[in-house]
Structure 1
Amino acid sequence: VKFTFERLKDPKRASIQAFLWGPVQTVKILDEYTVQIINDKPNGPMIRNLAIGCMLPPKAYDQDKFGTEPIGTGPFVFKEWVRGQKLVMEANKDYWGGPPKAKKITYFPIPEEATRIAALRKGDLDVTFTVPVDQVKLLEGDEKIKMEKILSCDTHVLSIGGKETKLFEDHRLRQAASYAINRQAMIEKILYGFAQMPRSVISPMVFGFNPNLPPGPVTYDVEKAKSLMKAAGKEAGFEAELMYVNGSLPKIADLALAVAADLQKIGITCKVRVFPDFAVGGTFLQPGKFDMFYNSWTTYTLDADMPFWRNWHSSNSREGTGKYDYGKDLDALIEKG
Structure 2
Amino acid sequence: MTVRALRAMATAVTAGALLAGTAACSAPSEGDTASGAGDTLVVGIAQEPDTLNPLLGYGKDGNSKVFDGLLRHDADMELRPALAAELPEVGNGGRTYTYTLREGVTFSDGTPFDAEDVVFTYETILDEKTNNPSKGELDALADVTAEDDHTVVFELKYPYAAFAERTVLPIVSKEAFEGQDVNAGSHNTEPVGTGPYVLTGWSKGEKLVFEANPDYWGGAPKVRKLTMAIIKDDDIRATRLRSGELDAAILPPVLADTFAKDGREAGKRVIRAKTADFRAVTLPTANPVTGDRAVRRALDIAVDREAIVKSVLNGAGRAAYGPVPTDSPWFAKGTERRHDPERAKEILDEAGWKPGQDGVRRKDGRRAAFTLWYPSGDRLRQEHALAYAADAKKIGIDITVESGTWEVIEPRMEDDAVLSGGGSPADPDFDLYSLLHSSLALDGFNNMAAYDNPAVDRALEEGRRAGDRDDRAEAYATVQRELAENPGYTFLTHVDHVYVMDDAWEDITTQVEPHDHGFGTGPWWNVEDWRPKR
TM-score band by shorter chain is 0.7 to 0.9
* Greater than 6 Å deviation, 4+ residue runs: none
Match of residue 415 from structure 2: 289
- Say whether residues 1:90 and 2:211 are aligned partners: yes
Match of residue 146 from structure 1: 269
Instruction: Name whichever of 7-16 and 184-193 sits farther off.
Output: 7-16
Match of residue 305 from structure 1: 429
2:308 pairs with one of 175, 186, 191:
186
Match of residue 177 from structure 1: 299
Q: CA deviation at 1:233?
A: 0.9
Seen in structure 2, the aligned counterparts of structure 1 residues 81 and 31 have a Cα distance that, compared at 3 Å, is same
When you count helix as a share of all residues, which structure comes out higher? 1
In the TM superposition, 1:47-86 aligns within 5 A as 47-51=164-168, 53-61=169-177, 62=180, 64-86=185-207
2:137 pairs with one of 6, 17, 20:
20
Q: CA deviation at 1:306?
A: 0.8
2:454 pairs with one of 321, 327, 330:
327
Aligned counterparts of 1:245 and 1:227: Cα–Cα separation in 2: 33
2:348 pairs with one of 219, 229, 232:
229
Match of 1:80, SS state, is: strand
1:6 pairs with one of 113, 116, 123:
123
Instruction: Name whichever of 120-129 and 103-112 sits farther off.
Output: 120-129
Cα distance per residue 1:197-226 (max 9 Å; x no partner):
2365223676x534x836x71121111111
Match of residue 280 from structure 1: 408
Aligned counterparts of 2:354 and 2:348: Cα–Cα separation in 1: 5
In the TM superposition, 1:40-51 aligns within 5 A as 40-51=157-168
Q: CA deviation at 1:8?
A: 2.5
Aligned counterparts of 1:296 and 1:192: Cα–Cα separation in 2: 18
Seen in structure 2, the aligned counterparts of structure 1 residues 322 and 117 have a Cα distance that, compared at 3 Å, is closer
Match of 1:149, SS state, is: strand
Amino acid at match of 1:247: G
- Unmatched 5+ residue regions in structure 2? 1-117, 356-360, 362-367, 467-471, 473-534
Seen in structure 2, the aligned counterparts of structure 1 residues 125 and 4 have a Cα distance that, compared at 3 Å, is same
Q: CA deviation at 1:14?
A: 6.3
Aligned counterparts of 1:97 and 1:16: Cα–Cα separation in 2: 31
Aligned counterparts of 2:349 and 2:382: Cα–Cα separation in 1: 30
Aligned counterparts of 1:258 and 1:67: Cα–Cα separation in 2: 39
Aligned counterparts of 1:145 and 1:205: Cα–Cα separation in 2: 30
Aligned counterparts of 2:131 and 2:463: Cα–Cα separation in 1: 22
- Unmatched 5+ residue regions in structure 1? none
Q: How many residues align?
A: 325
Contact preservation (8 Å) 2:437, 2:451: no
Contact preservation (8 Å) 2:209, 2:227: yes
Cα distance per residue 1:257-310 (max 9 Å; x no partner):
12111111111111222222x23211122xx222x22111121x5211212221
The RMSD of aligned alpha carbons is 2.5
Q: CA deviation at 1:4?
A: 2.5
Q: What is the TM-score normalised by the length of structure 1?
A: 0.86
Match of 2:316, SS state, is: coil
Seen in structure 2, the aligned counterparts of structure 1 residues 117 and 242 have a Cα distance that, compared at 3 Å, is closer
Aligned counterparts of 1:221 and 1:188: Cα–Cα separation in 2: 18
Contact preservation (8 Å) 2:321, 2:337: no
Match of 2:307, SS state, is: helix
Seen in structure 2, the aligned counterparts of structure 1 residues 331 and 134 have a Cα distance that, compared at 3 Å, is closer
Cα distance per residue 1:115-138 (max 9 Å; x no partner):
322333343322222x22222332
2:281 pairs with one of 112, 134, 158:
158
Contact preservation (8 Å) 1:168, 1:174: yes
Aligned counterparts of 1:331 and 1:77: Cα–Cα separation in 2: 39
Aligned counterparts of 2:354 and 2:258: Cα–Cα separation in 1: 46
Contact preservation (8 Å) 1:19, 1:309: no
Q: What is the TM-score normalised by the length of structure 2?
A: 0.56
Seen in structure 2, the aligned counterparts of structure 1 residues 16 and 190 have a Cα distance that, compared at 3 Å, is same
Aligned counterparts of 1:333 and 1:174: Cα–Cα separation in 2: 26
Seen in structure 2, the aligned counterparts of structure 1 residues 295 and 39 have a Cα distance that, compared at 3 Å, is same
Match of 2:257, SS state, is: helix
Amino acid at match of 2:289: L
Match of residue 377 from structure 2: 247
Seen in structure 2, the aligned counterparts of structure 1 residues 47 and 117 have a Cα distance that, compared at 3 Å, is same
